[in-house]
Structure 1
Amino acid sequence: MSDFVFSPPPLASLSVRGSRARFPVRRIYCVGRNYSDHIREMGGDPDREIPFFFQKPTDSIVENGSRIPYPLFTSDFQHEVELLIAIGKEGADIRLDEALDHVFGVGVCIDLTRRDVQVEARKTGRPWEIGKSFDESAPCSELVPVTSAEFPESGAIELRVNDQTRQHGDLRQMIWSSAEVIQQLSTQYRLMPGDLIMTGTPAGVGPLTPGDRVLATIEGIGSLEIEIVQEER
């Protein structure tokens, strides 16, 4: 075994319902603007254009029950609840009718966003990765293994902050279905076991502050709880 100049970071992974084995994470892909009501609230045009993707680092994953420090470099820290897809089978240029065969499981996730930073980058034509891809920006629940026949095409998706509903929608409102997202993404990247896909958020995104308790749920899949805290720098 090769030596390293320092100990390599631990491999990011997620727990799997009903199993002691964990799901090792390779990459995190995110879909932008996949619910028409969210596109409208952000001032965009909800016409069905080809979906676009961005990525988060794997070490931004935090698991259920985590306390997440309010991040650096923002005064508008926001939540976006999303369906999480875990890929379990390699593929590129995947056929639409075979896309769900590449799924290992599903879960609940929150795409945490430094909205002010993202918006400013977008206005100036710069990449807005800095608004999305920062420390602890990808809370994820455990994964629920599913077959293609069991894949959830509908179901309520909701996020509550301090017991008040902020986001509420249904998976059937996605502009691009999960199968279409997988198919489109596979034309740009070879998908591999260990890849995660965040599939977009419904309307109602909004700010978080220290002390907020956040509960994200998707009907028939599960839930994810986090707390936002003020960390001394």
Structure 2
Amino acid sequence: MTRGEGACLVCGKPLVYFEHAKKMECSMCHGTFESYASCEDGHFVCDECHAKRGIEVIMNGCRNSQSKNPIEIMQMLMMDPYIYMHGPEHHVMVGAALLTAYRNCGGEVAYEDALEEMKKRGSEYPGGACGMWGCCGAAVSAGIFMSIITKANPLTGTSWRYSNQMTSRALGAIAKLGGPRCCKRDSFTAAKEAAAFVQESLGIDMELPKKIQCDFSQENQQCLKRHCPYYKG
């Protein structure tokens, strides 16, 4: 399996977004869902079908990684053909990579339970929410990571604050770079901000590359190119 520049998993053509959601049939599972997008030929793939194989890649890859660098972990995962250029699998991937690097750096966490919880929570966040809800799933994934490692819930104090601060910090950095969306750019940015926040708030030092470079620009029809800090050029 190979990835192309187009976003549609059925035919490879670009996506078209609607102002209002429409009921559509998934081209893979044939379930009926409300969606704000289809490809130019009308194909629609639900979030579960889009992300299923990619999430399996993420879970297996993270379990087997000894890296202390969340960017390195994500770059390894992104090379798999089931991690598409864009898609809701990134909403699990960011937090899972951070959990893995955190564990490998000596952070205290019940890793297997945490990874499963990251999968569950990240999978609930819909694709396209960056534009439709104004909150990118990569930032939310970083917030979920922080919630899990600090055992936050709606009634906690410091951990509640940390979780919301994490999402806010990642989202602010993502928004500053501008649109249109790029799941790779947003994931790198969220993980970078999370590593810094964890060091500041919890004293765990994750490793980061001296320079983050993206190898996926050719797959993104909306790449910002030299206006993106990760563009290789």
Please tell me the TM-score bracket, short chain as reference.
under 0.3
* TM-score, normalised with respect to structure 1: 0.27
* TM-score, normalised with respect to structure 2: 0.27
Determine which structure has greater relative contact order: mean sequence separation of CA pairs < 8 Å that are 6+ residues apart, divided by chain length.
1
Higher relative helix content: 2
